């Protein structure tokens, strides 16, 4: 799996090259800060007073039961929707004030709504990630092609370049979409359940690469153990409010998991201080 922020790898092209360097410089990890976030639809409050901070280069896991507001929050963090109250700052600048093209160079988003009827090839989809760096009306350059091909290969999809998107399996689509986000060389990577179609090996590879990446990452996850294992910090949402934020050990306690998920657990602590959760049968 390609490492976010390392997509340039010294052999690509385009990107935010500096000086005479023709190669992308990769991600310049951003600090994301949001507070007082309120948002709703048709008078229904969906997010209330939400705060979240992701320090540069950190991987922050966003947790919570179905319908707790994770995807809604991610859209607001990405600038895809405007909060009704509160603020979202990228390196102290309001996301809403950053021009679209500049924002597209800084933030990559992978949502859950992946269209099934796209008639593009896998390579064309990955190349979309380079669009923010291309001058308007310019064609695809050899360096971008090389970058996209390598991203596909690192996603385990070498040989899939000309495959139609609509012919890909769910997990293959998810990996192509991730490769698209990663060649964008984002300072901030926002991922909505990026593991939901992946087999266990690809889940582990993805989370390892996020944890090791230069980019700042906010990722929604349902698997509490994977979140505990790979995230630096966690934010737990319940009914649109943050009920806990901190290290995995601070957030994932038996009482809080029972309060939020109505599931009883036993929790061990691994050698590196991370919680390991054992679920009790729901009925016991
Ligand atoms: N555009 C919308 N119109 C009406 N309700 C919405 C809209 N967007 C979100 N909601 C509601 O807001 C709540 C939060 O949704 P959201 O998708 O953010 O939750 P989530 O935590 O990501 O859930 P899941 O884990 O199931 O993906 C849900 O009850 C959802 O039905």
In 3D space, the residue among 75, 70, 78, 71 whose CA is nearest the CA of residue 95 turns out to be 78
- Sequence-distant (6+) residues with CB within 8 A of 193 are 112, 220, 221, 222
pLDDT of residue 119: 85
69 lines ligand 1 (CB under 6 A): yes
DSSP 8-state assignment for residue 214: S
pTM: 0.88
How far is CA 213 from each of CA 150, 167, 187, rounded to the nearest angstrom? 17, 30, 10
Tell how strand 107-110 and strand 93-94 pair up: unpaired
How many angstroms is it from 220 CA to the middle of ligand 1? 13
- Per-residue pLDDT at 116: 65
The reply to whether ligand 1 has any atom less than 6 angstroms from the CB of 240 is no
- The hierarchical CATH code for the domain 32-279 is 3.40.50.300
pLDDT, residue 185, reads 86
The predicted structure's pLDDT at residue 284: 55
Cβ neighbours for 121, distance < 8 A, ≥ 6 positions apart: 161, 162, 163, 164, 165
Taking each helix axis as running N to C, give the angle between helix 142-154 and helix 170-183, from 0 to 180 degrees, rounded to the nearest 10: 140
pLDDT given for residue 32 in this prediction: 98
In this prediction, residue 217 carries a pLDDT of 96
In angstroms, the CA 284 to CA 281 distance is 5
Q: Give residue limits of the domains in the chain.
A: 32-279
* C-alpha triplet 12, 15, 20: angle, nearest 5°: 85
Distance, C-alpha 87 to centroid of its chain: 20
| ipTM computed for the complex | 0.97
pLDDT at position 67: 96
**24: CA distance to ligand 1 center in Å?**
37
- Residue 66 beta carbon below 6 angstroms from any ligand 1 atom: yes
Q: Are residues 177 and 122 in contact, defined by beta-carbon separation less than 8 angstroms?
A: no
Look at residue 80 and give its three-state secondary structure. coil
pLDDT string in tens for the chain (284-residue length): 544 444 333 333 344 433 333 333 456 889 999 999 999 999 999 999 999 999 999 999 999 999 999 999 999 999 999 999 999 999 999 999 999 888 988 999 998 766 666 789 999 999 998 888 877 767 778 888 999 999 899 888 999 999 999 899 988 998 999 999 989 889 999 999 999 889 999 999 999 989 988 899 999 999 999 999 999 999 999 999 999 999 999 999 999 999 999 999 999 999 999 999 999 976 55
* C-alpha span between 279 and 192 (Å, rounded): 24
- Distance in Å, CA 69 to ligand 1 centroid: 6
What integer pLDDT is reported at residue 26 of this predicted model? 56
Q: Determine the pLDDT at residue 214.
A: 87
């Amino acid at each position: 799996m390609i490492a976010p922020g390392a997509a340039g790898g010294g052999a690509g092209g385009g990107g935010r090259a500096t000086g005479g360097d023709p190669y992308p410089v990769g991600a310049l990890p951003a600090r994301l800060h949001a507070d007082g976030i309120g948002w709703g639809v048709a008078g229904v409050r969906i997010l209330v007073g939400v705060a979240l901070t992701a320090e540069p280069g950190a991987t922050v896991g966003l947790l919570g039961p179905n319908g707790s507001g994770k995807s809604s929050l991610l859209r607001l963090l990405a600038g895809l929707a405007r909060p009704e109250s509160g603020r979202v700052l990228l390196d102290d600048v309001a996301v809403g004030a950053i021009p679209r093209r500049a924002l597209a160079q800084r933030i990559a988003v992978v949502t859950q709504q992946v269209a099934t009827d796209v008639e593009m090839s896998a390579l064309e989809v990955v190349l979309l990630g380079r669009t923010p760096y291309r001058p308007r009306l310019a064609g695809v350059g050899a360096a971008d092609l090389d970058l996209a091909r390598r991203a596909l290969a690192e996603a385990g999809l070498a040989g899939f370049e000309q495959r139609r998107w609509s012919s890909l399996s769910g997990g293959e689509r998810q990996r192509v979409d991730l490769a698209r986000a990663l060649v964008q060389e984002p300072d901030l990577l926002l991922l909505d359940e990026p593991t939901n179609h992946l087999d266990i090996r690809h889940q582990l590879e993805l989370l390892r690469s996020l944890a090791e990446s230069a980019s700042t990452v906010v990722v929604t996850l349902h698997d509490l153990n994977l979140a505990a294992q790979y995230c630096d910090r966690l934010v737990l949402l319940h009914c649109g409010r943050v009920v806990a934020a901190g290290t995995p050990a601070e957030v994932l306690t038996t009482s809080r998991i029972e309060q939020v998920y109505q599931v009883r657990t036993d929790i061990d602590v691994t050698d590196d201080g991370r919680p390991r959760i054992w679920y009790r049968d729901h009925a016991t």
